[in-house]
Amino acid sequence: MTASRTLGSTGPRVSALGLGCMGMSALYGETDRAESIATIHAALDAGITLLDTGDFYGMGHNELLINEALRTAPAARREQALTSVKFGALRTVEGGFSGYDGRPNAVKNFAAYSLQRLGTDHIDIYRIARVDPDVPIEETVGAIAELVEAGHVRHIGLSEVGADTIRRAAATAPIADLQIEYSLISRSIEAEILPTLRELGIGVTAYGVLSRGLISGHFTRDRELAPGDFRGMSPRFQGENLQHNLDLVDALRKIAEQKGVSVAQIAIAWVASRGEDIVPLVGARRRDRLTEALGALEVTLTADDLAAIELAVPVGSAAGDRYPTNQMAHLDSER
Ligand SMILES: NC(=O)c1ccc[n+]([C@@H]2O[C@H](COP(=O)([O-])OP(=O)(O)OC[C@H]3O[C@@H](n4cnc5c(N)ncnc54)[C@H](OP(=O)(O)O)[C@@H]3O)[C@@H](O)[C@H]2O)c1
């Protein structure tokens, strides 16, 4: 894979697909360490340079996993890898989430621990996962800007924020990208957020491109989820909502079959087709899923394909919110 895209007017050049590593440590059921590391290695071999993580994914587990994968990769691959790290989420001993901390000293404390766990001397893109409602975004971004100044961080990113916060952050320091959910069934960024990012020269790293597997073509109507799997609480995976959403996937499957590609490839290619400023992150946890995702880069969607996709999955056609109610409340992007 040689395709690459630049994140915003000030951000780094990265592979046209990024690898999201969250599911290798948490939220999607059982994990397999050896397969996770093999998947990261295969991604690096295929030319993926962007690895996305969060310090709270498995409470440090994900960063340590990336550390091991980078340490055991050939030096040339390791040197090309860029880390995108989220911080700010507070955890409980039981594994719950108890809020967000974006105070400047906390930001620097989070960064110190992440650098230690990753085993690197800098983080390429650093962002707070959700805005701390008690701390102005200028203070949080200002603290990351100081980390940039000191050489510990290269670029500043944002996550799940709306147009107002984007403007305030961009007035504080150069912002490389906004990480936000964007897929065929999560299109709320199109109204205001995407135009604001484009006006300000900020890129997008799109997550949930497969809606956490829901529109991957592999999610079955009777799939049993392990306790603690995020999808067990997600409105889109419940009862009638799930059946409705999988009907949309069946409509998409017909288009995929006609093109001789997979549903996941159509879904990833669709996000990639929305603009050169958008880099889809894929949450592949296994090498076979990664290979499928990489195949999306070879898929060209014609105007006819795009029209058929739009008809199969019209804007706003998904049933259910993208997060449970209590988590929707943390999304500055949905206000
Ligand atoms: N900023 C934020 O708020 C935020 C929130 C969530 C995630 N993220 C980041 O975005 C990344 C991607 O998000 P995500 O993992 O939720 O999204 P995703 O890519 O929409 O979903 C990943 C899930 O889809 C399934 N899948 C089926 N076919 C696949 C294929 N060909 N390639 C990849 N996955 C396939 C996988 O499960 P099976 O293999 O079991 O089918 C996997 O667990 C995360 O890893 C994380 O780094 C950021």
Q: What is the mean pLDDT of each run of 10 residues along the chain (335 residues)?
A: 89 98 95 97 98 98 98 97 98 94 98 98 98 98 98 98 98 98 98 98 98 97 93 96 98 98 98 98 98 98 98 97 94 95
Q: Is 320 helix (H, G, I), strand (E, B) or coil?
A: coil
CB distance 143 to 108 below 8 Å: yes
Tell me how far apart the terminal alpha carbons of the chain are, to the nearest angstrom: 38
Walk me through the domains of the chain, giving residue ranges and CATH numbers.
Answer: 15-334 (3.20.20.100)
The predicted pLDDT at position 1 comes to 58
The predicted pLDDT at position 125 comes to 98
Catalytic residue among 57, 100, 126, 207: 57
The predicted pLDDT at position 237 comes to 97
Instruction: Please give the single-letter amino acid code of residue 11.
Output: G
Give the gyration radius of the chain's Cα atoms: 19
CA of 71 from ligand 1 middle (Å) equals 24
The predicted pLDDT at position 255 comes to 98
The predicted pLDDT at position 65 comes to 98
Among residues 149, 147, 146, 170, which one has the least CA distance to residue 158? Answer: 170
CA of 62 from ligand 1 middle (Å) equals 14
Instruction: Answer yes or no: 28 catalytic.
Output: no
Quickly count helices (H) and strands (E) in the chain: 12, 12
Structure tokens at 297: 């880069």
Ligand 1 closest atom vs CA 183: 20
What is the best residue among 22, 125, 219 to mutate for testing ligand 1's pocket, by most ligand atoms within 8 Å of CB? 22
Q: What pTM value is reported for the model?
A: 0.98
The predicted pLDDT at position 324 comes to 94
Gap between the Cα atoms of 127 and 271, Å rounded: 22
CB distance 65 to 37 below 8 Å: yes
Among residues 302, 263, 207, 201, which one has the least CA distance to residue 17? Answer: 207
323 close to ligand 1 (CB < 6 Angstrom): no
Q: Who contacts 177 (Cβ-Cβ below 8 Å, separation ≥6)?
A: 7, 8, 11, 125, 155, 157, 158, 202, 203, 204, 205, 279
Ligand 1 closest atom vs CA 213: 24
The H-or-E segment that residue 76 falls in is: helix 75-80
The secondary structure of residue 186, as a DSSP letter, is B
